[in-house]
Amino acid sequence: MILPLVRRPVFAGFVALSGLAMVPGPAAASYLFWTPPNFTGTPVRGDEPGLGLPMPGATPKEYSAHLLWNMRAGLNVAALQCQFAPPLAAVKNYNTLLKQHDGELNSAYETVTGYFKRTMPKGWQVALDQYTTKTYNGFSTLHAQLGFCETAAAIGRDAIGRERGKLHETAELRMREFRNSLVPMGDGMFLIRRTTFASLPTPPLDTKCWNKRDELVKKCIVTWNMTQAAAGRPVALVEGAANPNGV
């Protein structure tokens, strides 16, 4: 980089390079956000990490029941935590879900219970109670409440729109999204300022190195360039270029 004229006001130890960025979000109907965060995830089976408590030795049927029961627990928590936003209809949708899909939910609970009876015959009731409590606690959130409630409302609408016996499809398609919503995210409508600091070598600031026109004099340019070269940095100034009058 060639700087033919160097003036003191131009230089600083660090230069802040600022930019503005918009957080993208899906163009979907939303009550709590102008531009809702994108929590979408890939379809799941129930045995993937991060969806719920471990189920060692579970069969595919038990994993499916485990997945469905986790979604029901999350919607139950939403019905309790999201009442601050009545338009989300969290309570109404959850109650409708229980009535509309009672058969599939009861079957899922029986399957999960059977898993603990099979794998822990002596202490299955305690293990089931702990599983239930920890599953509920896994959906409790404070800082991510808006995203969680918005997502729970959307999943609840999806669930009550399913035919009887098809509730597991909602769980398979949207459970990863449900878990993702527990991560705090802001509204994509608002700008975020990102600042990156780039270090620039600072030329000598001794008053003896500057003339009355605030230009770096020749002898200091030579010294500074030698220092830069010794440090393995590129030489930024050309000798004599700072002062056309040969000062």
> For residue 241, with 0-12 CB atoms within 10 Å meaning exposed, 13-18 middle and 19 or more buried, which class applies?
middle
79: Cβ–Cβ under 8 A, 6 or more apart, which residues? 90, 91, 93, 94, 95
User: Cα separation of 24 and 40, whole Å?
Assistant: 13
Write down the pLDDT at residue 25.
40
Q: Residue 220: pLDDT band by 50, 70, 90 thresholds?
A: confident
pLDDT tens per residue across span 106-135: 999 999 999 999 999 999 999 999 999 999
Q: CA–CA distance from 47 to each of 61, 66, 68, 148 (Å)?
A: 11, 9, 12, 22
Q: Whole-angstrom Cα distance, residue 40 to residue 181?
A: 9
pLDDT reported for residue 26: 41
**205 CB-side CA count, 13 A:** 8
Integer Cα distance of 125 and 109 in angstroms: 13
Question: In the Cβ-directed half-sphere of 35, how many Cα atoms lie within 13 Å?
Answer: 11
Asked if 165 and 43 count as a contact pair (C-beta separation under 8 A), the reply is no
- pLDDT, tens digit, 9 for 90 and up, residues 79-114: 999 998 898 899 999 999 999 999 999 999 999 999
- State how far the alpha carbon of 199 is from the alpha carbons of 196, 220, 233, in Å: 10, 21, 12
Residue 132 tokens read as 């239930």
HSE-CB for 21 with a 13 A CA cutoff? 11
Question: Which residue's entry shows tokens 């499809």?
Answer: 169
Residue 188's pLDDT is what? Answer: 63
User: pLDDT digits over 161-218, tens only?
Assistant: 999 999 999 999 999 999 998 887 766 656 554 545 445 566 667 777 878 777 777 7
* Cα–Cα distance measured from residue 136 to residue 72, given in angstroms and rounded to the nearest whole number: 10
